Amino acid sequence: MKHHFGDLLDRTGDYWTIIPNVGRYSFSADKNIKEKSKVKILTISKHDKYWNQVFECPNIEEITLHDPSKEQIEEIQKLKQLKRLRLTFFRAKDVEFIANLRNLEEVIFEYVSGFSDLSPFQRLPKIKSLHFENLRRVSNFDGLRGLKSLRYLYIDGTLDWKQPIENFNFLEELPNLEILAFGFVINKTDFPAFLPILKLKKLKKIKVGMATFNTKEYAFLETALSSKKCVNFSDTPWTPCYKIGKEYMEFIGKGAGNVKLKSSSALEKISMFEEKYKAYKIEAGKIIKSYRG
């Protein structure tokens, strides 16, 4: 059965040129390729009988490894010219193979489990965009430290399993990061967890849902980055209170609650929350000022 993933990539700018997920099967390697010199994109899985012909395609730039075999993972290291790689449904003790593909610029890992160390990515000098979705054994992202070419980073879990993140200290050493996005994640650090974000001088946008982090973290990020840079997944700026449907006003932050708009106390509760949010931003401003000296 073919598994279809949604395309969660922010395709504004030049961060991603890899094909959308829905198009992966249009480039199957499980058929004889006549004009191999014209091939730049292929999708390979462990069920493909003719996958080895990828090594006869001199201009290959992009590969999707969907539910691949261990042999395919080992052999793919020979393709030193690869620029784009998507790996889905694979279990591995480590991802050392990635370090040998030094020309990679865009990498997507979806449902890749078994490993916990991301440090092989540190040996990718050209990497500009990373998308991680459902890395079951990963919680520490320090292996991304020092990726000076990285401009886009997305970390996500799934609706039924949230990706844990021990801390955000690794952000301090991503000097050229422009887009930072979080989907279904769990923050394991106390407030202010996002203090390291103050090092990101080139950050253009942080993209996250309105109920992912503690309310104080949203106030901190808005104060640190300006509200224009803080958006949800519809690219709409955050607000302390926002509507979902017609009946309720939601409050920003994980577990922050809501109020029924028809309630007699709705306006009072909304006003109280907005004032609390303002106080959080003042507190954040003091923390930021102290940090910057």
Provide the token pair at 101: 């593909």
CA distance 191 to 195: 9
Secondary structure of 37-78 in HEC code, one letter for each residue? HHCCEEEECCCCCCHHHHHHCCCCCEEEEECCCHHHHHHHHH
Residue 290 lies in a domain: no
Helices (DSSP H) in 124-252: which residue ranges? 215-225
Residue 148 lies in a domain: yes
Distance of CA 18 to the CA centre of its chain: 15
In degrees rounded to 5, what are phi and psi of residue 270? -65, -45
* CATH code of the domain in which 40 resides: 3.80.10.10
Place of tokens 């994109």: 41
DSSP secondary structure letters along 215-242: HHHHHHHHHHH-GGGEE-TTSPBP-SEE
For strands 179-182 and 152-156, give the pairing. parallel
Q: Which residues contact 197 (CB under 8 A, 6 or more apart)?
A: 168, 171, 180, 203, 206, 221, 224, 225
Residue 68 lies in a domain: yes
pLDDT values of the chain reduced to their tens digit, one per residue, 293 residues? 344 466 788 888 999 999 998 888 788 888 888 899 999 999 999 999 999 999 999 999 999 999 999 999 999 999 999 999 999 999 999 999 999 999 999 999 999 999 999 999 999 999 999 999 999 999 999 999 999 999 999 999 998 999 999 999 999 999 999 999 999 999 999 999 999 999 999 999 999 999 999 999 999 999 999 888 999 999 999 999 999 889 999 999 999 999 999 999 999 999 999 999 999 999 999 999 999 87
What is the amino acid identity at position 81?
Q
Residue 215 lies in a domain: no
To 10 degrees, the CA torsion angle through 214, 145, 126, 200?
Answer: 50
pLDDT of residue 185: 98
Handedness of CA 59, 64, 68, 73 (dihedral sign): positive
Q: Are 128 and 151 in contact (CB under 8 A)?
A: yes
Q: At what angle do helices 215-225 and 266-292 cross, to 10 degrees?
A: 60
Residue 168 lies in a domain: yes
Q: How many domains does one find in the chain?
A: 1
Residue 31 lies in a domain: no
pLDDT of residue 3: 47
pLDDT of residue 30: 83
Place of tokens 């996002």: 194
CA distance 120 to 92: 13
Residue 205 lies in a domain: no
Q: Spell out a b/e string for 225-236, using b for 16 or more CB atoms within 10 Å of the CB, else e.
A: beeebbbbeeee
Distance from first CA to last CA of the chain, Å, rounded? Answer: 57
Q: Are 27 and 64 in contact (CB under 8 A)?
A: yes
What residues make up the domain containing 174? 36-189
Strand partners, 186: 164
pLDDT of residue 21: 84
Residue 128 lies in a domain: yes
